[in-house]
Structure 1
């Protein structure tokens, strides 16, 4: 089983590095300066316990990979980049490959299934950061994170069990789950707070906003008949890396790096979509979606808003 990690940032880089360290055949697909740094100097993985530099094979696009049936492609880019990535992948890879979506949200698997018959969901609970080109930080050790996996849309099979076994042997907690999307919906509820953290910064100042966003999310899932598992975050177990504590999650990091885009349309926006489909009001998630997107477009860094400013904006938008 060869792993092709498509999107070797914080999540993909960490998973790819640990699989490579534990004897698996791994190829990374990275972009730009990150690709060049890994190609020229290797991928450095920093954890609370150690720092290692790994000479992992890396390419800059799927067309440079010599795919074979049985390869496992781990998608690890943000959801807003998935459609374009899948188009490149389908042009380069045979349909017999396995596509496993190690991504937030619940839309990636549907997109992949249009093009590939063997699609798997991976529920990722993994505090990590892409600190600079060629360098990934993972904040848990000796267990790096949790990667539960199952066939999409449902089911348990030998591939799911093999993936779970590979992840477990590479320092992750992992179970093959026939209802993996139930866990990904649970993770989605957790991720509704990502935009709050990005806009207000880490800490308790956005606690009530997060509660309201998740309350709306739970109401939408109930209206849609979606059962969500209780997925516990592991951030509370994180430890400093090279003396630096983890500063924030994926949306926070996107604003911090000035990427120009965030994935809130597929996190808070998923709840807004369900609310519109099922007649459930979602004013908090809609405002979070719009504000986070605006911050990304305008190049604003994280933590530029106060809770009071958010509530004022919500009142102006809703009249309440």
Structure 2
């Protein structure tokens, strides 16, 4: 398959290596020193005791690569406005485009069942118009990545979860008829070493990941600690449980009751700096709006009190604002 990874950073670079080594025609969109290193040496993935290297076509613009079979938009949500204006050359009439961003995502309201509460108006949803100018809704796949990665050096990706690398994909329209196509695509991911189970309802999967991120990732950011720091401190463990319980209430109020146990999820936290903390430390734009403030907006739309989440949101928003790492218009007044 012709596969373009739009954003060959931590997770995108990891998957680019695995898919290229599985025999696919892989191209990547990157920038700066990372792009220069990929062009000169290819991509190197360090995972456990293994070092995997792959040569991939690379550039800073999608225009030269043409229509693809699959595009994986592996950037952070903060880069999506630029990508919406640039992605067109990669999308043909049969191209599938996967969006596996953390947090609340642009396509959530597109095809949302009429029986579900109307979501609040938040900035990320404004991207539906430009993206759907470049692709049809039936070409869009929601994605959820469970894989702990970081860019160790330009052109070098370090995977911190060798036994736990997964990308769940599903149509954003539950009535989609692409079951056979998706089964084949998941099989290709599996053969490349990327677990890809069927998540069922993709919005429920989004809420599952979001509830996890708004708990462990935000506490890790606020305390400058790996995610499992919330498990190692009794007071932080209780804060984690409270935030997660509030997140479960928000999801249920919007039509997605989740069978998640806070203690079980606490026990699974990895000794890994979440992307929020990585971005903060490296002075990169942060997904605070999508991971933290979006659930606050959903809670207020459903008239649910979330005192612990509100506190965490105020703290991490202040941290990001002080470094100029979030947009001025966040869509929520704290």
TM-score, normalising length from structure 2? 0.79
> Are 2:148 and 2:272, in contact at CA under 8 Å, matched by a contact in 1?
no
Match of 1:2 in 2: 2
Matching of residue 197 in structure 1 with residue 217 in structure 2: no
User: CA 1:233/1:49 → structure 2, altered by over 3 Å: closer, same or farther?
Assistant: farther
Matching of residue 298 in structure 1 with residue 316 in structure 2: no
Matching of residue 54 in structure 1 with residue 54 in structure 2: yes
How far the C-alpha of 1:60 sits from its partner, in A, is 0.8
Within 1, Cα distance between the matches of 2:266 and 2:257?
Answer: 22
Within 2, Cα distance between the matches of 1:262 and 1:48?
Answer: 28
Q: Out of 246, 251, 263, which is 2:276 matched to?
A: 251
- The 5-angstrom pairing of residues 1-320 of structure 1 reads 1-68=1-68, 71-90=69-88, 93-94=91-92, 96-110=94-108, 111=127, 114-115=132-133, 116-117=135-136, 118-141=139-162, 143=163, 145-154=165-174, 155=176, 157-192=179-214, 193-200=216-223, 201-202=225-226, 203=229, 204-205=232-233, 206-228=236-258, 230=260, 247-259=272-284, 261-299=285-323
> Are 2:7 and 2:73, in contact at CA under 8 Å, matched by a contact in 1?
yes
How far the C-alpha of 1:58 sits from its partner, in A, is 0.9
After superposition, the C-alpha distances for 1:205-234 in whole angstroms (9 at most, x for unaligned) are 432222222111111112222233649879
User: CA 1:293/1:37 → structure 2, altered by over 3 Å: closer, same or farther?
Assistant: farther
How far the C-alpha of 1:163 sits from its partner, in A, is 1.9
After superposition, the C-alpha distances for 1:101-126 in whole angstroms (9 at most, x for unaligned) are 12212314344663422111122111
Deviates more, 1:250-259 or 1:82-91: 82-91
User: CA 1:125/1:235 → structure 2, altered by over 3 Å: closer, same or farther?
Assistant: farther
Match of 1:312 in 2: none
How far the C-alpha of 1:237 sits from its partner, in A, is 9.3
Match of 2:122 in 1: none
Within 2, Cα distance between the matches of 1:237 and 1:251?
Answer: 15
Runs of 5+ consecutive residues of structure 2 not aligned to the other structure: 109-126, 326-333
User: CA 1:160/1:230 → structure 2, altered by over 3 Å: closer, same or farther?
Assistant: farther
Runs of 5+ consecutive residues of structure 1 not aligned to the other structure: 239-245, 302-317
TM-score, normalising length from structure 1? 0.82
> Are 1:6 and 1:74, in contact at CA under 8 Å, matched by a contact in 2?
yes
How far the C-alpha of 1:268 sits from its partner, in A, is 1.7
User: CA 1:265/1:182 → structure 2, altered by over 3 Å: closer, same or farther?
Assistant: same
> Are 2:7 and 2:29, in contact at CA under 8 Å, matched by a contact in 1?
yes
Deviates more, 1:83-92 or 1:44-53: 83-92
User: CA 1:32/1:128 → structure 2, altered by over 3 Å: closer, same or farther?
Assistant: same
Within 2, Cα distance between the matches of 1:207 and 1:42?
Answer: 41
Match of 2:117 in 1: none
> Are 2:71 and 2:90, in contact at CA under 8 Å, matched by a contact in 1?
no
> Are 1:182 and 1:229, in contact at CA under 8 Å, matched by a contact in 2?
no
Matched length: 292
Other structure's SS at 1:195 match: helix
Within 1, Cα distance between the matches of 2:311 and 2:268?
Answer: 27
Other structure's SS at 2:103 match: coil
Other structure's SS at 1:267 match: helix
User: CA 1:235/1:249 → structure 2, altered by over 3 Å: closer, same or farther?
Assistant: farther
User: CA 1:153/1:282 → structure 2, altered by over 3 Å: closer, same or farther?
Assistant: farther
Match of 2:120 in 1: none
